[in-house]
Structure 1
């Protein structure tokens, strides 16, 4: 299986990060395992393995509670399962 690509900009600085990028980075830093799938500009999330409890709690409390549009923005920053 090919390595997942990350949608997180490599040179992101904290002063220029969007709230969505910050949430995605924090989720991933907690060991989050969800991956985005982008097809025809429709973003969905795939999860084959359970998240560590801290990452799952973060996702449920900080991401799932967002509006649909803001939640999509966070998902867009997750590593993708799409091939380049």
Structure 2
């Protein structure tokens, strides 16, 4: 699901994380996570690209009009 959103947080944590305990399955799991990262995100449709552009423009408008530092940090995290 994270890969579909182009935010592969879990696969990245698995690949980059330190193993605390292994019952012999970790190499296979790390390999699968690395494969997902190497594959990269799926191509976006034109509709998805347009939606993302709209979202970016909306967030930038919020940031330009921001008067509060906390609101600005929140907006940037989007």
Q: Same fold (TM over 0.5)?
A: no
Larger-gyration structure (1/2): 2
More helix per residue: 2
Greater RCO, CA 8 A, separation 6+: 1
TM-score (norm 1): 0.28
